[in-house]
Chains A and B, each alone.
Chain A
């Protein structure tokens, strides 16, 4: 695994404009960064990332099955009791999942370690499935990369196929796509997924989360008063539970992407639960609930993460007893009311002074590709840059 500096394509911004990739630069800072790429060997991809990704996904499903059937665990996962039935029903009905992203610390030589599972509302899929694919295509066409240069990326193809499979379970339904207002990044992500659904011959519509309404039967409606019967929402389940309409969830004849049972996987309580069920698994970091700190070896430093959090917010470093170390790297944020979990401190590898995080994408249960984020800080946050990769 190498970081290779390279020339940017001279026309890439015009191309981004042509394809509607609007969030390549945010707040005056580069987000899409093609001044370098990461190079992997096929073995690193297949043995180091692809195989563990599919294994861990199966382990995660085992956790869901355990938690669903244990009220004490549902409480530990900070899931409101009013939503237990919704989540259980969706799991027992086998509601299909579209996608998720596992984040790994991996340097190409050791074993990839799971940081967390973005199972509910993962982003950067457009950059991964489409935009870095185009980058490699252009680089090969202009002979800046060898013809045999490959990439771990069948994301878009698998997405379209997965939409076809799920459509077969919801024939004739229109699929509504939704995200919050005023976020170009989320809007772009949802547009991409909508394009993939259209490619699967699905009728689609878009509605902003804030514009969703209800009729007198508590069915959800869009701005044309059309009843919503199938919805992809780039909006976390834990937010939906907290919102006003959270209390009527479960009354509608509606299918969700991601399904409600994903609330158990996008939850940091997943990490100590995985460690409990699969102790000493090479791809897992030791992780603990707040009431388990007595199990932590004396010399182990920990990372304290809120049960619900996005984009690296509210993360801090502690000693083995959970006491803060007051590190300059600690991040603040609006999360943590619902409790925390602790995970062994395990630093991201650095390449040319950048901390590098690998996102490994799953379409349903199949590993489909990777995304790479770089940050100057040890905790990758929402301003980390996206870099393409090749397999050579």
Chain B
């Protein structure tokens, strides 16, 4: 056979496609055990709290904190106006690029256990650490812990939280764009050629 025997046509249909939205709240999952698609995480407000409520060492707690701070710089929710930021998160600060972002309310850590030798000698390390914010806007998310992209972790005060692994993926870095349109002019210069052949301008640049 020189031909692939099966292609999944479902994936290729463009009409009547359904999109699955990422879950917004964890409330419905609270009672479930953590399956392979979920992870148990802890929410801590400081390195000291991290040390006392997790099995991590002081050095790991510090490293996790620094990781979260660094991530916050790149991924915190951004607002053009201070008022908009305050409406949702209370206290906000101005970044070097001129946006307003909320102060990090704490960070969530996911632990990993390395089994060294036999099971009596286990070493705890942190696998993920993510900045989180306390939502203070109106509505049902008031006083809930939230990640940079609006994922609701839960209410503060729980010993631990379960989060889908999907929500724990690193968040993309956002920045401030200072110019646009620096690509594409070579193509439009070429497509202005030969107006007699009207097709040219709408054909592609592949070959």
Chain A contact residues, CB within 8 Å of chain B: 17-20, 26-27, 42, 45-46, 118, 121-123, 130, 133-134, 136, 150-154, 156-157, 172, 174, 179-186, 189, 195, 198-199, 203, 208-217, 219, 221, 224-227, 234-236, 238-240, 242-245, 266, 310-311, 332-335, 369, 382-383, 391
Q: How many residues of B contact A (CB 8 A)?
A: 45
* CB-contact partner of B202 in A151, A184, A334, under 8 A: A184
| Min CB–CB distance B68 → chain A (angstroms) | 17
CB of B4 closer than 8 Å to a CB of A? yes
Tell whether, in the assembled complex, residue B7 and residue A209 are in contact, meaning their CB atoms are under 8 Å apart: no
| Chain A residues, CB < 8 A from B183 | 209-210, 212, 235, 239-240, 243-245
Given known A-B contacts A214-B179, A310-B207, A334 and B174 have beta carbons under 8 A apart: no
| Min CB–CB distance B166 → chain A (angstroms) | 10
Given known A-B contacts A133-B4, A226-B172, A382-B199, A213 and B180 have beta carbons under 8 A apart: yes
CB of B117 closer than 8 Å to a CB of A? no
Tell whether, in the assembled complex, residue B204 and residue A185 are in contact, meaning their CB atoms are under 8 Å apart: yes
Give the total number of A-B pairs whose CB atoms are below 8 A apart.
181
Tell whether, in the assembled complex, residue A226 and residue B186 are in contact, meaning their CB atoms are under 8 Å apart: no
Residue of B at shortest CB range from A40?
Answer: B2
CB of B36 closer than 8 Å to a CB of A? no
Chain B contact residues, CB within 8 Å of chain A: 1-4, 7-9, 11-15, 97, 169-170, 172-187, 189-190, 193-194, 198-207
* CB-contact partner of A214 in B7, B174, B178, under 8 A: B178
6 contacts between A and B (CB under 8 A): A154-B3, A157-B4, A215-B178, A266-B207, A369-B2, A391-B2
Given known A-B contacts A27-B199, A183-B205, A210 and B184 have beta carbons under 8 A apart: yes
Residue of B at shortest CB range from A226?
Answer: B172
Tell whether, in the assembled complex, residue A334 and residue B194 are in contact, meaning their CB atoms are under 8 Å apart: yes
Tell whether, in the assembled complex, residue A215 and residue B172 are in contact, meaning their CB atoms are under 8 Å apart: no
Tell whether, in the assembled complex, residue B202 and residue A183 are in contact, meaning their CB atoms are under 8 Å apart: yes
Tell whether, in the assembled complex, residue B206 and residue A226 are in contact, meaning their CB atoms are under 8 Å apart: no
| Chain B residues, CB < 8 A from A179 | 204-205
Interface core residue of B187, B189, B199 (most chain A CB under 10 Å): B187
The CA-CA distance from A27 to B202 in the complex, in Å, is 10
| Chain B residues, CB < 8 A from A151 | 2-3
* CB-contact partner of A19 in B12, B175, B199, B200, under 8 A: B12
| Chain A residues, CB < 8 A from B170 | 172
Interface core residue of A45, A130, A133, A221 (most chain B CB under 10 Å): A221
| Chain A residues, CB < 8 A from B15 | 17-18, 20
Q: 6 extra interchain contacts, Cβ-Cβ under 8 A, other than A20-B14, A183-B203, A211-B180?
A: A26-B199, A27-B202, A46-B2, A150-B3, A210-B183, A239-B190
Tell whether, in the assembled complex, residue B3 and residue A174 are in contact, meaning their CB atoms are under 8 Å apart: no
Interface core residue of B1, B169, B198 (most chain A CB under 10 Å): B1
| Min CB–CB distance A146 → chain B (angstroms) | 14
Tell whether, in the assembled complex, residue A333 and residue B193 are in contact, meaning their CB atoms are under 8 Å apart: yes
| Min CB–CB distance A174 → chain B (angstroms) | 6
| Min CB–CB distance A15 → chain B (angstroms) | 10
| Min CB–CB distance B2 → chain A (angstroms) | 5
